[in-house]
Amino acid sequence: MSVASSQRPSLLRVIVAYGTIFNFWEEIRSNDHVFAGLILLLVGAIGFVANVIGVYTVYRCRHLHNSFGFLCLSHCIANSGVCLTFAAWCAPTTILEAGLQLTSSTLGKHVGQVNIMFWDACVYSHLSISINRFICINFPIQAKNFFTTPVICVFIGVPWVLAVCHIVPYFWVNECFIYYDPMTWTWDYAETLCGNYISIYFDFYTGLGVFSAMFVFDMGTLLKLKIIHHKAAVFTDVRWRQRKQETRFFCQSLCQSAIFGIELIFFSSTFAWVACHAADGLILDLFHTRRAFKVQQKHDTNSANFHTIQEHHPQPHVAHAGDNDF
């Protein structure tokens, strides 16, 4: 048997497999709900994983064991909550084309309530991070004394307290609620006076006001960095490295602020909503995660070297009082 003839069955199997995959993909694309649900599932899952990695990054990187890092940690937790809601609730109900009997039920309304809480925590965490960068860049000496453990706890806790305050009206599930509509792929507010009030004032205007405040703080920080750039020659090496790290933190914060601005513009779009929170986590990963894995690799290498030394040079046993006690 020739080589060419022996390869024909394998080639045929590849063609058949490709055709099967292509037909399956075309079938998915022909069903808009399945296609949209899978996209929400994919983006939500990626966002959740990215933000969990962000939490791990803050834990592993010593240069993030400060006020900025802990604020990022809180922000990643809020982001992961939003992404998980989309992946675990919006995606399945969209794929299964669940009716409003489920998504607008009491359970569906409480899911919307929790989602809004995580979203508001993200909003106010953005502002906390912008204020943190403004203080650290403009008042570096005073910032070291200002950001004590209690103050950091306040900066982390206030966004969550405000987020909980935002969702208090949602406990009146018959008048104030938000639910996901799997047929239109949108989050809809209650068509009541309370629903209109919370959608306009509690969510949209609040987000717009927070973004405006963030813009003011970020522009103030950017102006200070421009002034610092002209004075760079008078800095010592240590001071310059500190400034470089603070600038890097600010660049990360500015990128995340831009993502938040995009989210406000496309707030009614479900995909843009979850995509922005996924991108938020990816930005932190791009800035810091590589260093976290380098730290982990170095730790593993040192541990392996230590155990190797212990095996080749065992320490003599020193008897202590109580060693032979039973």
User: Could you report the per-residue pLDDT of 164-188, keeping only the tens digit for each?
Assistant: 999 999 999 899 999 999 988 889 9
User: Could you report the per-residue pLDDT of 93-147, keeping only the tens digit for each?
Assistant: 999 887 778 888 999 999 999 999 999 999 999 999 999 999 998 998 899 899 9
Q: pTM to 2 decimals? A: 0.77
User: Could you report the per-residue pLDDT of 302-314, keeping only the tens digit for each?
Assistant: 444 444 444 444 5
> On the CB side of 298, how many CA atoms lie within 13 Å of its CA?
8
Q: What's the CA gap between 59 and 252, in Å, rounded?
A: 18
CATH topology for the 30-291 domain: Rhopdopsin 7-helix transmembrane proteins (1.20.1070)
Averaged pLDDT in 10-residue chunks for the chain of 326 residues: 50 55 53 85 96 93 91 96 96 86 89 95 95 92 92 97 95 92 90 91 89 93 81 57 74 82 68 88 86 56 46 46 37
What are the extents of the domains in the chain?
Answer: 30-291
C-beta neighbour count of 281 within 10 angstroms:
28
For the chain, what percent of residues have pLDDT higher than 70?
73
Q: What's the CA gap between 244 and 238, in Å, rounded?
A: 10
